[in-house]
Amino acid sequence: MSYFDNNSSIQIKEPHKVSQVYLDKHIRVYNFDNLYISNHGTISPRTITIKNGKKEKKIKIQMTWGRMVEE
């Protein structure tokens, strides 16, 4: 998955398909670029930040749990 700031979109690449999700133009996503989920559901640990003006939400992704934890 990759985030594109220039058009506020998230691109999801699958083996035989590419999907594009468009977000509101005021939403910004940080530390989301080149997020890779393995076939077994594992993700490298990171914290994704989503901002919309003065509001901010941080989501921590745990490596082998394959789940998101809201901070």
List the one residue out of 40, 38, 45, 34 whose CA is nearest residue 68: 45
What's this model's pTM, rounded to 2 decimal places?
0.68
Residue 65 scores a pLDDT above 60: no
Digit-coded pLDDT (tens) for 6-47: 888 999 888 899 999 999 988 999 988 777 777 777 777 888
C-alpha angle with apex 32: 62 to 9, nearest 5 degrees? Answer: 135
